[in-house]
Structure 1
Amino acid sequence: MNIGLFLAIAGAAIAVALSGTGSAKGIGLVATAASGAMSEDPKKFGKFILLVALPGTQGIYGFVMGFLTIQKIGLLGGQVVQLTIWQGLEVFFMNLPIAIAGLFSAIHQGKVCAGGVNLISKQEGEMGKALVMGVLVEFYAVLGLLVSIFVWLFLTF
């Protein structure tokens, strides 16, 4: 394996690992708040589950980018591309927008959604407001994914 290919694979791994780590942390934050709130009213599980799941999308975005990366370099049934160091760095940096945006937005989305759990616990009819606040944080993960995909689309070897 040459250094360029190693860098490309490392980029895919970082996209998956960082966004997945952020999602795990974000989901943990919301699930902790939801578990505490459900100890008082277990019937609110249905209202909380969407807020708990929302930070998990960043992990999915990172997985998609990792998959697109290994497909682009030929590790999925194609001819493995021999990359120069510079091409490997291009692929590595292509993955950083979703890796970084996914990590931080999922953690902060978890905090926002945990606040949403507290809101719904006290005012059950405010589910929409809690969800909108969580989705606002999601927007920045989507931007990170779009930047990574746009680079992926126009990257040629």
Structure 2
Amino acid sequence: MNNVLAELFGQSGQGFVILGMIVNVVLGGIGSAKGLRIAATQTAGVMSEKPELFGKLFVLMVLPGTQGFYSFIASFLAGLQTFLGNKTISIPASIGLMLLLIAMGFIELISAIEQGKTSAAAINMVAKQERTFGQAIIMPALVETYAVLGLLISIIVILSINLIK
């Protein structure tokens, strides 16, 4: 066991990347689950009185789920960059990648929860006036922008970091 830990954290640095990948996916997943719960709870309340709105409300309800996918994509790319082939990652590069993934995880966590709240407000708006759907979807989409920016900067850094000694 000590040899494995020494290899992952001491010699190759891959352990730091694994740790960052895990934290990123966990935070993104928690945020998406919480955001989806917030939006789904609101949708369920509206659907009990207006089931014909399901199609429109579904779009608003599932938006907070994207952050979990974004975290998975970034962690997957980091894993490919680190573990595909016979690559060796330096300790400083692995720590930098770990910190990037953890920071992205927090972006996805917070934006998913806030997007769930914004989606719930948009769901209420559509429930009161169905014709406002086009305007209502813009509000949670604005929150989505920051989740996407977190993913994009992570992809750029992951693909450009010099991981090979």
| TM-score, length basis structure 1 | 0.92
Structure 1: give runs of 5+ residues left out of the alignment. Answer: none
1:101-138: per-residue Cα shift (whole Å, max 9, x none)? 11100100000000011111111111011100010000
Question: RMSD of aligned C-alpha atoms?
Answer: 1.3
Report the identity percentage: 42
Aligned length: 154
Alpha-carbon distance in 2 for matches of 1:124, 1:143: 30
The answer on 1:102 being equivalent to 2:108 is: yes
Report the structure number with the largest CA radius of gyration.
Answer: 2
Q: Which residue, 17, 20, 28 being the options, matches 2:29?
A: 20
Structure 2 equivalent of residue 132 of structure 1: 138
The answer on 1:88 being equivalent to 2:103 is: no
Maintained 8 Å contact 2:28/2:71: yes
Alpha-carbon distance in 2 for matches of 1:61, 1:156: 22
| TM-score, length basis structure 2 | 0.88
Alpha-carbon distance in 1 for matches of 2:155, 2:18: 16
Maintained 8 Å contact 1:97/1:147: no
The change in CA–CA distance for 1:143 and 1:97 in structure 2 (over 3 A counts) is farther
Alpha-carbon distance in 2 for matches of 1:138, 1:6: 31
Q: Which residue, 29, 32, 38 being the options, matches 2:41?
A: 32
Deviation for aligned residue 1:39: 0.6
Alpha-carbon distance in 1 for matches of 2:33, 2:19: 20
Structure 1 equivalent of residue 4 of structure 2: none
